[in-house]
Each structure stands twice: as C-alpha cells, then as structure tokens.
Amino acid sequence: QQPVQSPQAVILREGEDAVINCSSSKALYSVHWYRQKHGEAPVFLMILLKGGEQKGHDKISASFNEKKQQSSLYLTASQLSYSGTYFCGTERNNAGNMLTFGGGTRLMVKP
C-alpha cells in the first residue's frame, strides 16, 4: 500500500525551514528519501532503517518513528537548490530493496 506524504506542496523563502512527512498503514523495515528535479531521475538523500538512528547531512535530516510508522524529512535554512519534488519510498521487509513510493511533495524555494 502506498505511503501518504504531506504536505502535497510547500513554498518557502530562502532560509526558511520545512518538514515533509511520510506515513504508512503497514509496519515498515526502511524508509528511503529522494529528491527529483523536473525531467531528471530521483536522487537519493538518505535511508532510515527500523531500529536505526536519525540521520542527516548538511542541513537535511530525517527521522523514523517505528511506533507510528512515520518518517519525517527536515530541511533547515532552505536553499534555492532544495527546490524539487521529494519522495519517500518504503520497504516492508529486507527482501530486495523494492520500494513503494509516496505521491511526492513539491517544494519550491524562492529568493
């Protein structure tokens, strides 16, 4: 079953923060976050495994709440380059990295 992402779209000014959520009705093994620019392939941001810790690099971090089966992606002090569509992909077990993707969150960062 497809995970649900929220919000569907968000507009920010440079320097503002944003949170994107990804929720599943099923127990998850892992959550993968990707960013996709228009006309390009998805680019991997980070992965969170069941039982793992919150992850992050630069000003992008993510968490995984196993009790709620929800992951959140945190974008801090956003830059123009953060614009794009963010997708979460979920795995229910470690059976081959075959992901079920959410519908995406469109993020636009304005100067």
CB atoms closer than 10 angstroms to residue 3: 24
Residue 16 or residue 63: which is nearer to another protein going by CB? 63
Q: Which residues bind another protein (CB under 8 A)?
A: 2, 32, 40-44, 47, 49, 87, 89, 94-104
- What length does the chain have? 111
Residue 16 or residue 36: which is nearer to another protein going by CB? 36
- Closest distance between another protein and the C-beta of residue 111, in Å? 25
**8 A C-beta contact, residue 10 and residue 18:** yes
Residue 14 or residue 44: which is nearer to another protein going by CB? 44
- Provide Rg for the chain, Cα atoms: 13
- Closest distance between another protein and the C-beta of residue 6, in Å? 14
Largest CA distance in the chain: 43
